[in-house]
Structure 1
Amino acid sequence: MTYTLNAPAVSSVGLATPVSSAISAFKGLATDEQLGLLWVLYENMGRAITPAAPGAARLQFAEGLLAQVRDMTPSEQLQFMRDLVERNSTPATRAYGVLTNNTKLAFWYQLAEAMQAGTVIPVPSYYKLGAAGIAIFGQISKLDFNQQITVLRQVVVAMGVDPLA
C-alpha cells in the first residue's frame, strides 16, 4: 500500500495498481535491461533520490560494500550488479541484502554517482534502452514523485540476498 503525504485521501487501490504494475513490469525485464533502466531513472531523477531516502544518513553502513565494489575490476563490478538483480548468493550480494530498504536506495544512488564519476564501470555511451524498458520508463514517468520513489525503492529492495531470510 502506498501513501502520499499532504495529499487528498485517495483509494489505496488507485495508488497500488499503477505502482505494482510498474514494479512487475520492471522485474519482467532481462537483467541488463533492468540495469539500463535503473541508469535512465537515475539520469532523470537521481538528484531527488537521496532526499527521498531517509536511510541515506545511515549510508555509512554501506560504505564498506561501496568501497569493495570500487576495488573490483570493471567486469567484476558489472557481475556484482547482475548478481544483485538475479539474486545470486555471493558475499557481496549478501552484504547488500542486510542493508535497510532506504539504505539500499541510497546505495544505488551512490553506485550511480560512482558510475558517473568513472570509479565504477559506466553504462556504455552507445547503450540504448530497449522498447520494453522505454515503455516501463514511460509508465514510471506518469506516476507522481512519491509513487516513482516507491517503485524504485521496491525494485532495489528485492535485489540481493538476505542471509537472514
Structure 2
Amino acid sequence: MARSPVHPKLSGLCPARDVQRSQSKTPHCKPARFFVESVEDEPNAAGRVTLVQSSATPKWARLLKTSSPQEQIQPLQAIFLSLKLFAKRLKGIAALESQYLQQHFALGEQYPEVQEAHLVLLVVKGLAAERLHMALQLYLNQSPPPTWNSLSPYPAASSVLYPNRRPPSSD
C-alpha cells in the first residue's frame, strides 16, 4: 500500500500537519490520520480515494474501544465524514458509514448535543427529504419547547424585532 499525501480536503477535518504527525489533542484527528494511512491511491477527479477497509477499521475500532462514550462523539463524526466525503463508493463503504452513523445516533440518548449533530450528518448522508423530515420532527418532539426568553439571545431585542409579539400570559 503506497502512502498517499494528506488529502487536501481532509484539512477541513483536521489540520494537515496534525494528521501527518498525529500530535494533535483534538479527538477527530486520529480517525482522519487512520483514514489517510489506509488510502491506497491518489484522489480521482471527484476527490475520492480507495480506502483499504481492512487497515482502517481495526484502528478505528481500537480507538473507539479505548474511548469513553463522550470521547467517541467527535471520532465517530470524523470517521463518518471521512468515509462519506472522501472514500470511493466501493463494496462495504456504505455499510461502514451506516455502522458508524448508528453508533453516533446511539450516543444521543446519553448526550443530547449529539442529536443536533446527527441531523447534520443525516443531511450529509443525503437522506431523502421525507425521512429527514421525520428525523427532524422526532428531534423537535423530544426537545423541550423554547421559553419566551430563549427566543432571542438578546431579550430586549425581541421587543424591537417583534413589536406586536407579547410573552404568553401565565393565567
TM-score, with structure 2 as normaliser: 0.29
Of the two, which has the highest radius of gyration? 2
Quick one: higher RCO (CA 8 Å, sep 6+), 1 or 2? 1
TM-score, with structure 1 as normaliser: 0.30
Higher helix content, 1 or 2: 1
